[in-house]
Structure 1
Amino acid sequence: MTTARPTPPSPTPTPPLAPALTPSPAPRPAAFGRALCAMVTPFTGTGALDLDGARLLADRLVSAGCDGLVLSGTTGESPTTSDTEKAELVAAVREAVGDRASIVAGVGTADTRHTLELARAAEKAGADGVLVVSPYYSRPPQEALEAHFREVADASGLPVMLYDIPGRTGTRIEPDTMLRLAEHPRIVAVKDCSYDFLGAQKVLSRTELAYYAGCEEHHLALYAVGGAGYVSTVANVVPDRLRSVLDAFDAGETSQAARLQQQAMELVESMMASGLPGTVTAKGLLGDLGLPAGPVRAPLRPADRRTIDGLRAAYERLVTHPAA
């Protein structure tokens, strides 16, 4: 008699392998584009506003890959330009770039009433948005700070980019304050110079705010966790090289993006960590390259020849280094 063999148990189904991931970054907020330059404000040799120079520089920056230009920020010497000059600058740059790039006008001051006036003037002059820094020196508490930003957002029809740079203003825009401000329909973006990567990610994960790195060394890091891009001073001189970092990341070439970011660090350090303001180093290098810049206004002082030579050497090493 033949004994039937027991039927072996069916093997546990092997779960299918996860499909190979094709690099395809999720859409991210880009209220004003990805690659934004904090543009210097060109002056003539006598220190007057150089509108022709501003048009030439703006056209060069946009042609080299800038999606947007931030005017009259710290790099644009906003503390020493008049209200009239700020409006004239917006109008001239608008004329030069047309609809090829967004224009964000810096309107932040230590006075809420003055900031409201500048926001309305920027809208009239043709800006696409306003950059609003925390009121400096008076160091308002968070409740007052929130009220200030809401008043500015209500003052015009322009979208608002908050500027969080406590190292200059003395006041942090706390993450919880950001979360509340994100509820306002015209507060759409942040320029982050807080050096609080955890706080930035907290706000990123809970809001639709477009987060822009305002610190040059954070461009790729913030972008990799969902940031919208950057607002860069160094872009005044190498707009194409900085944009290439984002382009490589978006193409899924993350190692290449890291290499390109690292290649730029010598110039970044020379311009932003030399002990001189970025305005001074950017204008010194632009002038040495024969590009519109002109002098800085007091209390700033121009870079000396030795500093400019060092900047030029770092620049030459970067631009002659293969980007691929």
Structure 2
Amino acid sequence: MTTPPNPEQKSAAFSGIWPALLTPLKADLSIDHARLAAHCKSLMARGCAGVTAFGTTGEGPSFSMAERKEAIEQLMANGIPADRIMVSTSCAALPETLELTRHAVRAGVHGCLMLPPFFLKGVSDQGVIDCYRHVIDGMGQDLPQLKLYLYHIPQVTGVGLSHHVIATLKSMYPDTILGIKDSACTTAHSIGLAEAFMKDLTVYVGFEPDLPEMGRRGSTGAISGLANFMPRVVSRLVTQPDADVTPADRERVVRLIGLLGDYSLMPALKGIMALFSGEPGWLRVRPPLVALTPDEFQRLEKTIRDFGMAPESD
């Protein structure tokens, strides 16, 4: 049985910039908890409302359930407030997604980001709906505390979220599903989602050049990979879409994304973190990703310097 939308529900969705955290690794490729916490503190000191762990940018599916649970616990132990943490709990196996979601909710995090099923392809809308229902219904007594954001990134998952899926899930769980993160990187698709759902849900985009357009349509923030090292620029794009500086900010981001197109994205983003922090450990990635070679890092460094980007310039 469904219930009508709660008019106060949309206001519970997050606002501001919640960077899609890169995950720093030690030499043995285990998570560097101290460095991750320090990175979070630096981002929040620069105005970020919260942080998002283990999404695509954070190589989330490359880590085990135990590693992901421990990382969230370590963040809180190192002084990151639980309600300023978003967790991507997506796994290929639904019982693991449910377990991570329950762990995150019981830890008191702001909310959870969940992909559709991402191993089997050619999945029907009903199959996608059933996956979300399995997790949501499985929360039991923890369900009232769950704030869930649907995550659409079909170029990675091979499985998208249709309007039918979104509308059906929203009608079934009006107090649970707060928003949609659209990382399809297609402006027309994001606008279509805003026109269809922004009345009852907050639609966020992961593609930073589209942030001003979505800000004009009511989007209140972003989960952004570039925000790992330029959070103020990303924030201005969505919160000040018509400011005088916005066109130049947007053009700068478009140019940067174009420059990074010559590299594998996550290793390149980690390369920028290594460059700005002076900590080469940021270069490490989990297989199947491959870290930048010394020559690639040197080329990236020259690219970023020639671009005129520095850690203080955001």
TM bracket (short chain):
0.7 to 0.9
- Alignment partner, residue 304 of structure 1: 293
Alignment of 1:200-215 (within 5 A): 200-207=190-197, 208-215=200-207
Give CA deviations for 1:101-123 in whole Å, capped at 9, x if unaligned: 62111111222222111111222
> For residues 234 and 302 of structure 1, do their structure 2 counterparts lie closer, same or farther at Cα, with a shift above 3 Å needed?
same
CA distance in 2, matches of 1:151, 1:202: 27
Alignment of 1:276-295 (within 5 A): 276=264, 278-289=265-276, 290-291=278-279, 293-295=282-284
Q: Is the 8 A contact 2:82 2:110 kept in 1?
A: no
CA distance in 2, matches of 1:322, 1:55: 23
- Alignment partner, residue 318 of structure 1: 309
- Picking from 110, 115, 128, the partner of 1:133 is 115
Deviation of the 1:269 alpha carbon: 2.5
TM-score, normalising length from structure 1? 0.81
- Alignment partner, residue 151 of structure 1: 134
> For residues 30 and 261 of structure 1, do their structure 2 counterparts lie closer, same or farther at Cα, with a shift above 3 Å needed?
farther
Q: Is the 8 A contact 2:179 2:203 kept in 1?
A: yes
In structure 1, give the amino acid aligned to 2:176. Answer: R
Q: Is the 8 A contact 1:54 1:92 kept in 2?
A: no
Deviation of the 1:248 alpha carbon: 3.3
> For residues 314 and 243 of structure 1, do their structure 2 counterparts lie closer, same or farther at Cα, with a shift above 3 Å needed?
farther
Does residue 67 of the first structure (1) align with residue 49 of the second (2)? Answer: yes
Alignment of 1:240-259 (within 5 A): 240-249=232-241, 252-253=242-243, 255-259=244-248
CA distance in 1, matches of 2:309, 2:234: 11
> For residues 243 and 101 of structure 1, do their structure 2 counterparts lie closer, same or farther at Cα, with a shift above 3 Å needed?
farther
Q: Is the 8 A contact 2:153 2:184 kept in 1?
A: yes
Moved more, 112-121 or 289-298: 289-298
- Picking from 221, 228, 236, the partner of 1:229 is 221
Gaps of 5+ in 1: 1-27
Deviation of the 1:160 alpha carbon: 0.7
- Alignment partner, residue 160 of structure 2: 172
Deviation of the 1:217 alpha carbon: 2.5
Give CA deviations for 1:119-139 in whole Å, capped at 9, x if unaligned: 112223342211101111213
Structure with the largest fraction of helix: 2
- Alignment partner, residue 15 of structure 1: none
Q: Is the 8 A contact 2:37 2:80 kept in 1?
A: no
SS in 2 for 1:296: coil
Q: Give percent identity, aligned residues only.
A: 23
Q: Is the 8 A contact 2:113 2:148 kept in 1?
A: yes
Deviation of the 1:214 alpha carbon: 1.2
> For residues 284 and 150 of structure 1, do their structure 2 counterparts lie closer, same or farther at Cα, with a shift above 3 Å needed?
same
> For residues 244 and 203 of structure 1, do their structure 2 counterparts lie closer, same or farther at Cα, with a shift above 3 Å needed?
closer
> For residues 186 and 37 of structure 1, do their structure 2 counterparts lie closer, same or farther at Cα, with a shift above 3 Å needed?
same
SS in 1 for 2:301: helix
Q: Is the 8 A contact 1:41 1:49 kept in 2?
A: yes
- Alignment partner, residue 19 of structure 1: none
SS in 2 for 1:182: helix
In structure 1, give the amino acid aligned to 2:204. Answer: Y
CA distance in 1, matches of 2:297, 2:213: 29
Give CA deviations for 1:138-182 in whole Å, capped at 9, x if unaligned: 132101101212332332432111110111111110112212222
> For residues 120 and 232 of structure 1, do their structure 2 counterparts lie closer, same or farther at Cα, with a shift above 3 Å needed?
same
In structure 1, give the amino acid aligned to 2:266. Answer: T
Q: How many residues align?
A: 291
Q: Is the 8 A contact 1:36 1:69 kept in 2?
A: yes
Gaps of 5+ in 2: 1-9
> For residues 216 and 314 of structure 1, do their structure 2 counterparts lie closer, same or farther at Cα, with a shift above 3 Å needed?
farther
> For residues 134 and 30 of structure 1, do their structure 2 counterparts lie closer, same or farther at Cα, with a shift above 3 Å needed?
same
Q: Is the 8 A contact 1:284 1:303 kept in 2?
A: yes
In structure 2, give the amino acid aligned to 1:190. Answer: I
Moved more, 91-100 or 297-306: 91-100
CA distance in 2, matches of 1:284, 1:148: 36
- Alignment partner, residue 83 of structure 1: 65
Deviation of the 1:81 alpha carbon: 1.1
> For residues 308 and 224 of structure 1, do their structure 2 counterparts lie closer, same or farther at Cα, with a shift above 3 Å needed?
farther
> For residues 167 and 238 of structure 1, do their structure 2 counterparts lie closer, same or farther at Cα, with a shift above 3 Å needed?
same
- Picking from 16, 21, 26, the partner of 1:44 is 26
- Picking from 172, 177, 180, the partner of 1:187 is 177
CA distance in 2, matches of 1:243, 1:30: 19
